[in-house]
Chains A and B, each alone.
Chain A
Amino acid sequence: MFDLFINMVKEEWRVHSTMFGSLSFALFPVMIFGIAFMGSFLIPLMRKTLPAGNLALIVHANYLMLGIMVGGFGLLGNEVMNRRFGQASLLAYSARSLPLSEKFIFSNFVVKDTVYYFFLWVLPFGFGYILASPFTGVSLAATLLLLLTLTLSFLFGLCGVFFLSAVYARSRPVLWLILLAIGMGVGGLATMSGTNPVLFFPPLLLNSAFTWTNLFISCAVLALLFGVAIVLFNPESVGSEKTYRNSFAPLLRRFSFLPNPPFATKDTLDLYRSGSLVGQTIFSFLLPLGVIWFFLALLGPFFPPHGLLFIFAITTGVIASTMYTWITMFDTFGPYACLPVAVSTLIGSKLTTFAILQVLPATFIAAVATLSGEVTYLVPAVVLGISVSFYAVSVMAWLCGLSPNVLVYDVKVLFVYLVLVGIVLVVFTSVAFADPYFALLSVILVIPTWLLVRKAKARWDAVDPAGF
């Protein structure tokens, strides 16, 4: 067990580090540490406007989100091996050549992901906070407790998505039943207690008042989610052949108004047949945004009037921009290398598919605006969210080309991404807070978006396409 685990960790490291050098990748946790360390010094300032409990809430929400995103990207039931690893030959395939069962390998894969991303993301953040504690007046015990509860938050996200995706791979109706039951449970809890149900999130409860019982409950729930998910895991039976009626030609005709219709057609079939359209929409879009909505709702009093809607629209925009990773995760440039296709053509076609997918965030923001009684601001909120999404994806395309899933871990890439997107977020948050209708000014982002896409195409045409 341990040998396989160690080698999987090495393999994961090499997949990342070979793309942009070991040093750049090794610096990634250092940067997370730096952000946490320096950010800790802002805590005394932030406390003047935000109570400490709400700060903890934000940080826990972020780590729950992180777990959901990692889980959502990597663990989507039946398609996990193909989608995660494409055509690369990795240890996850070793069941074919070694006397190891698929379930055993998959268990190792999950444990590896947990440990790997813990060291990559969670520990550096907690460590930065701990080291800064002597200067920020926060007790060491509180920082250690935070590290524990952040870890639990991350694992809740990871295990939760892993559990739901394992159920999804077995039976979609059962998944919907479970989601319905969770929704009803959360709703019931809110009605009975009269408070936001997020406050009953076990790691948050533990953080506000440590008890061994709470810790035990958190760990037991996590173990249950992990255990059930691994038991339910059902590798697609080797040798089975899925057949489909020819849908390419009819879809191609339907997409003939788009630039590069064959690629849009292929992407659509990829998303639909892999289960990714439904799976990613639930696990990497709706679920994180649902969680964010609950957490943001608690912060409403600290925002200007209508501020919550616009913060949510911007957040939706940033998360919607990650849809670019959904459509680039299926193929490297390799399968196209035998065709008269340039990398810039593929980037353009992926952005076309991305543009079609923006119907989802637009609808989502519109629904939130309507349901929250702020239908007056529906148009500016949708414009802001979609403008941010297109701008963020153009930054991603410029920095990462067709490999955003991998290059995001290059510290230089992540730093530039955070700066370029962060500046825009701060500017347009302030603009929307000043006057909700000023959010319409975000259409100006079309200019940098267009320039960045042009630069992305020129940049990635000039380098040899990357593969594993």
Chain B
Amino acid sequence: MTTIIEARDLSKTYGDVQALSHVTLSVEKGALFGLLGPNGSGKTTMIKMLTGQTRPTVGSATVLGVDVIRDPVGVRGLVGIIPEQETPPSFLTAIEYLEFVAAVRKITDIEKKADWWFDFLDFADKKNVLCKDLSRGTRQKLMFTQAFIHEPELALIDEPLINFDPIMQDLVKDYLAGYVKKGKTIFISTHILEVAEEICSGFAILHKGTLLHTGPVTGLTARGEHLPSFFLSLVRKDRHV
């Protein structure tokens, strides 16, 4: 198997706050990997470091063979990213934002590709609306589109389903499952455990910036365990420690 993400001893401190502490993990090609953890556990920091948005205080990482510290822009050129909070630029329309992304990423045939996504995620009626006037759900659709429109080998998504209605959640879950079947890799961060159990092949649990566990979901189910109960018992135990 080819290793797509390799993080070694990653740590990040913000002033006195230790956001991430000596995290080592790897993700193989074709995985739908879930990074799980309660609020403030360091999931977003981990994604930011893997995509070169923030530098680790200690440690190193490669993504698709590219060093995230030496070449953060190179990493972002290869992957698709959906940040947790960022929204598209206010004064571009939805279609203009996708054209902007296409111009930056040098994607060809953007109109055709954009139209497919507008239809697929059911927001074609919003293509000429200013991004600042879009609802949260529609913005999330747009951010989802910009992350996948160039069909990256790896997509890193922070809370992929958080603003979607149940119908859209179902559609997106199916899309993600189909995407990894094509040999691509997806790394998601979430605290919705049921979703992680349903779609992920592997997972890691972070708590207070420390990696508590990493392994395949099948390993759990083979032991008759469920991800939510496993997660809760592990995190609660760590809290008492």
Q: Which residues of A contact B (CB under 8 A)?
A: 82, 86-87, 240-249, 252, 261-262, 265-266, 269-270, 273-274, 330-331, 334-335, 337-342, 345, 464-465
Contacts and interface: CB of A to CB of B under 8 A. Distances in A.
Given A334-B86, A340-B74, A464-B53, 14 more contacts: A86-B90, A87-B86, A242-B129, A242-B133, A243-B128, A244-B130, A248-B92, A262-B100, A262-B104, A330-B89, A337-B76, A339-B101, A340-B105, A341-B104
Contacts of B100: 248, 262, 265-266
A245 B128 contact: yes
Contact of B89 (A243, A247, A331): A331
Given A242-B129, A261-B103, A340 B73 contact: yes
Interface size class of B (residues with CB under 8 A): 35 or more
Contact of A246 (B74, B76, B128, B146): B128
B92 to A, nearest CB: 6
Contacts of A266: 89, 92, 100
Interface stretch (B30-38, B77-85, B163-171, B202-210): B77-85
B129 A243 contact: yes
Given A339-B105, A340-B76, A341-B104, A241 B133 contact: yes
Interface string B45-76: 00010010111000000000000000011101
B129 A465 contact: no
Interface string B95-115: 110011101110000000000
B91 A246 contact: no
Contacts of A248: 92, 95-96, 99-100
Contacts of B89: 266, 270, 330-331, 335
Nearest to A465: B53
Contacts of B81: 337-338
Interface of B: 48, 51, 53-55, 72-74, 76-77, 80-83, 85-93, 95-96, 99-101, 103-105, 126, 128-130, 132-134, 143, 146-147
A240 B95 CA distance: 18
Contacts of B85: 87, 334
15 contacts: A82-B132, A241-B129, A244-B128, A247-B96, A248-B96, A248-B99, A266-B89, A330-B89, A338-B80, A340-B73, A340-B104, A340-B105, A341-B73, A342-B72, A464-B55
Nearest to B76: A340
Contacts, number: 107
Contacts of B53: 337, 464-465
Contacts of A245: 128
B83 A246 contact: no
B158 to A, nearest CB: 10
A341 B72 CA distance: 9
A334 B86 CA distance: 6
Given A335-B86, A465-B53, A273 B103 contact: no
A246 B55 contact: no
Most chain B beta carbons < 10 A, residue from A334, A335, A340: A340
